[in-house]
Structure 1
Amino acid sequence: MTRRETGVLAPDRRRALLEAAAAEFAEAGYERASLNRIIRGQGMSKSSFYHYFDSKEALFDAVIGDIGGSLVKALDLPEAAELASGDFWGRVEELTDRLALAGTEHPAFAALAKLFYLPDAPASLGETRGRIDAWIDRALEAGRAVGAVDDELPVSLQRHLVGAVLWAMDEWSIAHMDALGEDELRQVAVAQMEALRRLLAPGSAGEATGASQRDGSTM
């Protein structure tokens, strides 16, 4: 399916429309989201909307692209290779901490995060997740290059392990965000870092095995 934008909307109106759409998609899911409700809330007619977007899916893609781009800027996301300079784990910890708190600072970021876990999201969302996975691969390569990440396992397997931790903990955090305070969100970020270090840092697997044996437990 071709999803395209057909006109140029004024920046302020575009931002308001996309933030309203993000909230609607996050609340109702993609299929049940009401395009009529979104555009009525912005004082737009259907003919006006279709002057700028040719479909609901094009609007969804714009939400991911625009708000996702704003999140990247807010996080000051580095190029993955830059993590090889200085304290690798310290820089990763700062990034995960900022990411954990981003949704509390801007409601559109919280809504955006929920879109990644919609069971009925358009297939195009997979392209964005693929770019995230590619960034993680490059970050792992940077960590391996400076000895901060173990190099005995394939990068592709490490990325699956990282994804299992990050996506699962993010999904839980997003589902409970309304009930979590800032300190609790920081604790989740700390738990993510501890889990990643245990999975990836050199010697961590051996240390965990040794601790298990000393405790008389099994892996």
Structure 2
Amino acid sequence: MTRRETGVLPPERRRALLEAAAVEFAEAGYERASLNRIIRGQGMSKSSFYHYFGSKEALFGAVVADIGGDLAAALGLPDPAELAEGDFWGRVRALTDRLAQASQERPGFTALARLFYLPDAPASLDASRSRIDAWIDRALEAGRSVGAVGEELPVSLQRQLVRAVLWAMDEWSVTNMDHLTEDELILLADAQLEAMRRLLAPEGSSSP
């Protein structure tokens, strides 16, 4: 159990701190992430840091809560049931396009995604993982209801396939981000979507 935050950091300083922490956690992993490096990079003292956050895990939780909330707002994340209204894969494509754009505009979003794949992430992340998994499961059920997603495999396995595709391509994108143009990032998002569609579409269906 993490201690509650004990003070209110000014919004801009809080955002800068959490963005820096997200990158540090994503690159080093939770256990090896250096709290000292994060704090020094923001020109803070340890006593100042602990006035606002009770622990390293509290900082990690704030990263997930704040940046995750900002990402959901930037995406205009729909209720999964809405994906069944009209063109399922077209709606998913619009969502992935917004995600690609948001990630390009704010690197913290990309770092946030990587936190969910950390093998040493604190247990406090489990609740967020569960909410994401529940959203994906409901999205898959919506796709199944309109015949856009096949029913040959269990939903739980389909969810694992989605996560595997997203992680592999996101990891490659992060590694090569400095060498990719905006057009290449858009093509990569299209390739990511097509990979998921091929894995999930009913047998015998053809690309739109």
Q: Please say whether Structure 1 and Structure 2 have the same fold, judged by a TM-score greater than 0.5.
A: yes
Per the alignment, residue 21 of structure 1 pairs with: 21
Paired residues of 1:24 and 1:33 also in contact (CA < 8 A): yes
**Cα gap change, 1:62 to 1:90, in 2 (>3 Å):** same
Per the alignment, residue 5 of structure 1 pairs with: 5
Answer 1 or 2: higher relative contact order, Cα 8 Å, separation at least 6: 2
Paired residues of 2:2 and 2:57 also in contact (CA < 8 A): no
Matched, 1:80 2:80: yes
Matched, 1:196 2:178: no
What pairs with 1:83-102 in structure 2 (closer than 5 Å)? 83-102=83-102
> What letter matches 1:71 in structure 2?
L
Aligned mates of 1:157, 1:31 — CA distance in 2: 29
Matched, 1:56 2:56: yes
Aligned mates of 1:173, 1:54 — CA distance in 2: 34
Aligned mates of 1:20, 1:198 — CA distance in 2: 36
Deviates more, 1:182-191 or 1:113-122: 113-122
Aligned mates of 1:173, 1:91 — CA distance in 2: 23
> What letter matches 2:103 in structure 1?
G
Aligned mates of 1:171, 1:78 — CA distance in 2: 25
Per the alignment, residue 183 of structure 1 pairs with: 183
Per the alignment, residue 151 of structure 1 pairs with: 151
List gaps (5 residues or longer) in structure 1: 209-219
Matched position secondary structure for 1:152: coil
Q: How far does residue 59 in structure 1 lie from its aligned partner after superposition?
A: 0.3
> What letter matches 1:26 in structure 2?
A
Listed one character per residue, the Cα deviations across residues 118-158 of structure 1 (whole Å, up to 9, x for unaligned) are 44332333432332221110001111112221223321222
Give structure 1 regions of 4+ aligned residues with deviation exceeding 6 angstroms. Answer: none
Deviates more, 1:177-186 or 1:30-39: 30-39
Per the alignment, residue 168 of structure 2 pairs with: 168
Paired residues of 1:3 and 1:55 also in contact (CA < 8 A): yes
Aligned mates of 2:28, 2:154 — CA distance in 1: 39
> What letter matches 1:106 in structure 2?
R
Listed one character per residue, the Cα deviations across residues 47-71 of structure 1 (whole Å, up to 9, x for unaligned) are 2221221101110110111011111
Deviates more, 1:91-100 or 1:102-111: 102-111
Per the alignment, residue 211 of structure 1 pairs with: none
Q: How far does residue 3 in structure 1 lie from its aligned partner after superposition?
A: 4.3
Aligned mates of 2:155, 2:120 — CA distance in 1: 30
> What TM-score, normalized by structure 1, do the two folds share?
0.83
Aligned mates of 1:153, 1:117 — CA distance in 2: 23
Deviates more, 1:160-169 or 1:66-75: 160-169
Paired residues of 1:197 and 1:204 also in contact (CA < 8 A): no
Q: Percent identity?
A: 77
Aligned residues: 207
List gaps (5 residues or longer) in structure 2: none
Give the number of the structure whose alpha-carbon radius of gyration is greater. 1
Listed one character per residue, the Cα deviations across residues 76-126 of structure 1 (whole Å, up to 9, x for unaligned) are 111111111121110101111222232211122233233334443323334
Q: How far does residue 161 in structure 1 lie from its aligned partner after superposition?
A: 2.1
Per the alignment, residue 30 of structure 1 pairs with: 30
Paired residues of 2:2 and 2:55 also in contact (CA < 8 A): no
